[in-house]
Chain A
Amino acid sequence: MIQFQNISKKYHPDVQALKGVNLNIKPGEFVSLVGQSGTGKTTLVKLLIADERPDTGKVIVGGWDITNIKNRHVPTLRRQIGVVFQDYKLLPQKTVAENVAFALQVAGKKGKDIDKILQQVLKIVGLEDKNKRFPLQLSGGEQQRVSIARALVHRPKILVADEPTGNLDSINTRDVMDLLQKINEFGTTILLVTHNREVVNALRRRVVTIDNGEIIGDHQHGKYIL
């Protein structure tokens, strides 16, 4: 489903973010990518959504080589990968429903279809009664659930969650992780980027450890080892 083949990336001549990274993620997997801050985890996410291009190597998503993807094809790629960020990245001037619907509107979906999908995803994340609220009227956990709902609207085969629990308390963290596991059970491949030890250890799923731009561990039922 996702292949990083011998990826290297430098931001400055002195800053080597990734060094010859090889990673293969199969369909339906739940993979935790762990490591300290600044070790290259977010760079991998950026490569996956074509926010950055690698200096060397190949990135393949669902059989599509996106290594040198043209700018005009980037929106199409991003509509196929759901992404959840630590800071939620919601549009502050749009309501919950509008934020979620926006991801469908950019793809040109019809109003009726949007309403139908909207009801479904808001039900999944448990926010159907708060659809008219603005992001600032919600708690951090609720905002993250809106972000997950938005990531789900295209029924993506891949969901990337970059530190989704970074700003949440333990209760909200558990809710969000339960939600991600539920989504994974429906067959969506999940790439969870985190440095939250408890979250990773509680999952007992595949753990890829990255340090200083290199993969130093890859275990099927791993733990946070750093």
Chain B
Amino acid sequence: MFILSTARILRFAFQSFLRNIWLSVVTITIIVLTVLSLTVLILINVVADQAVTSIKDRIDISLYFEAGSNSDQVKLVEDQIWKMQHVKNVDYVSADKALEMFAETHRDNELIQDALNEIGENPLGPVLIIKADSIDNYPLILQSIKDFKIDELAKEIDYDDHEIIINRIELVSQKIRQFSLILSIVFTIISLLVVFNTIRIGIYVHRDEIGIMKLVGASNWFIRGPFLVESILYAIFGCLIFWIVFYLLIGFINPMVAGFFAEIDFSIIDYLTSNFLFIFGFEILVIIVLNIISSLLAMNRHLKV
């Protein structure tokens, strides 16, 4: 009896889905647009986060030593810094490597190239590049460097310039987070309301049929069943159609967008591919739950016939 009823409910749902094809198309279109706005919101959040992280990653403390400094002495300093709290990484750049990098950075600047040739010997000393485990801990590391009088051994500490930038980044990233949170909430509410009302209108269109089904002796669950299954079908088709179209579209525009994200080392396709199951699962779950709730609420009203 249960299997028979379930099979009939499924058949009625597919039948209604196909026989009311325009209603199905309209509902699925609304769901596609909702999933689009949810996905764009997710991507905006990820890109903003990635951009801030990428900029934060470039922050470091550089200790420049005099040209001709003893490399053993620099190594000792490096060991000392490794022992400090909150230090994530210390890179030793030899004087030769520093010169090589400097020449590479300014390879198009003839004046600098000529000056380097004129000097003949390496004017640069070794450099220690220190990374903290968190952007907030740079001042602590800097304080430790001063406490151990390491700064007296170095020619220059390149950090003060970053301090202002870090503060600005922190401020901007905080603002971005707040803005995207508000945007996410507003867009999500709008999208969910649109889907909610679309499903309700769909049920409203069938209100007379619901009444007739009751009059011929159908139980409430036998009536609800096909509508619930149909609303799940809308969610599945909506999400599938969106993702197929979106992937095709992204594949097409990715080369154009790639340049935009080059600076922050971010690829939409890579991100979507590695997080596809999570995002798709989240979206389809949200839409299915929403459709079921909308259907149940809308139908309860008409089932009191």
Among candidates B15, B19, B217, residue contacting A106 with C-beta atoms closer than 8 Å: B217
Does chain B have a CB within 8 A of A221? no
Give the dominant DSSP class at B's interface: helix
* Residues of B1-60 whose CB lies within 8 A of A: 1, 4-5, 8, 15-16, 19-20
Which partner residue on chain B sits nearest A134 by CB separation?
A: B19
- A75-B214, A75-B219 known; 18 other A-B pairs, CB under 8 Å? A51-B305, A72-B219, A75-B218, A76-B217, A78-B215, A78-B216, A79-B217, A89-B211, A92-B209, A93-B16, A102-B213, A102-B216, A102-B218, A103-B216, A106-B218, A106-B222, A107-B217, A108-B4
Interface 0/1 of A69-101, CB less than 8 Å to B: 000101111110001010001111110000000
- 11 residue pairs A–B, Cβ–Cβ below 8 Å: A49-B215, A72-B219, A78-B215, A78-B216, A89-B215, A91-B212, A93-B19, A102-B216, A105-B8, A106-B219, A108-B1
The answer to whether A91 and B209 touch across the interface, beta carbons within 8 angstroms, is yes
User: B interface vs A, CB < 8 Å?
Assistant: 1, 4-5, 8, 15-16, 19-20, 209, 211-219, 222, 305
Does chain B have a CB within 8 A of A12? no
Chain A residues lying within 8 Å of B5, measured Cβ to Cβ, are 108
B213 to chain A, nearest CB (A): 7
Chain B residues lying within 8 Å of A106, measured Cβ to Cβ, are 213, 216-219, 222
Chain B residues lying within 8 Å of A83, measured Cβ to Cβ, are 215
Chain A residues lying within 8 Å of B215, measured Cβ to Cβ, are 49, 51, 78, 83, 85, 89
B193 to chain A, nearest CB (A): 28
Chain B residues lying within 8 Å of A102, measured Cβ to Cβ, are 213, 216, 218
Interface 0/1 of A130-154, CB less than 8 Å to B: 0000000000000000000010000
Chain A residues lying within 8 Å of B1, measured Cβ to Cβ, are 108
Which partner residue on chain A sits nearest B19 by CB separation?
A: A93
Among candidates B4, B212, B222, residue contacting A110 with C-beta atoms closer than 8 Å: B4
A138 to chain B, nearest CB (A): 16
B203 to chain A, nearest CB (A): 14
A32 to B214, CA, bound (A): 25
Q: Which 3 A-B pairs have the closest CB atoms?
A: A78-B217, A79-B217, A106-B218
B25 to chain A, nearest CB (A): 16
B9 to chain A, nearest CB (A): 10
User: A interface vs B, CB < 8 Å?
Assistant: 49, 51, 72, 74-79, 83, 85, 89-94, 102-103, 105-108, 110, 150
Chain A residues lying within 8 Å of B214, measured Cβ to Cβ, are 74-75, 78
A43 to chain B, nearest CB (A): 16
A102 to B213, CA, bound (A): 8
A117 to chain B, nearest CB (A): 14
A108 to B8, CA, bound (A): 9
A85 to B214, CA, bound (A): 14
Which partner residue on chain A sits nearest B305 by CB separation?
A: A51
Chain B residues lying within 8 Å of A74, measured Cβ to Cβ, are 214
Chain B residues lying within 8 Å of A76, measured Cβ to Cβ, are 217
Chain A residues lying within 8 Å of B212, measured Cβ to Cβ, are 89-91
Chain A residues lying within 8 Å of B15, measured Cβ to Cβ, are 93-94
B11 to chain A, nearest CB (A): 9
The answer to whether B20 and A93 touch across the interface, beta carbons within 8 angstroms, is yes
A77 to B5, CA, bound (A): 19
B86 to chain A, nearest CB (A): 67
The answer to whether B209 and A93 touch across the interface, beta carbons within 8 angstroms, is yes
The answer to whether A103 and B217 touch across the interface, beta carbons within 8 angstroms, is yes
Chain B residues lying within 8 Å of A94, measured Cβ to Cβ, are 15
A136 to chain B, nearest CB (A): 12
Which partner residue on chain A sits nearest B11 by CB separation?
A: A105
A90 to B19, CA, bound (A): 16
A51 to B305, CA, bound (A): 7
A124 to B287, CA, bound (A): 47
A226 to B209, CA, bound (A): 35
Which partner residue on chain A sits nearest B206 by CB separation?
A: A93
A178 to chain B, nearest CB (A): 24
A176 to B259, CA, bound (A): 76
A74 to B217, CA, bound (A): 7
Among candidates A51, A75, A90, A91, residue contacting B217 with C-beta atoms closer than 8 Å: A75
B2 to chain A, nearest CB (A): 9
A152 to chain B, nearest CB (A): 12
A150 to B216, CA, bound (A): 8
A180 to B106, CA, bound (A): 102
Chain A residues lying within 8 Å of B211, measured Cβ to Cβ, are 89
Chain A residues lying within 8 Å of B305, measured Cβ to Cβ, are 51
Chain B residues lying within 8 Å of A85, measured Cβ to Cβ, are 215
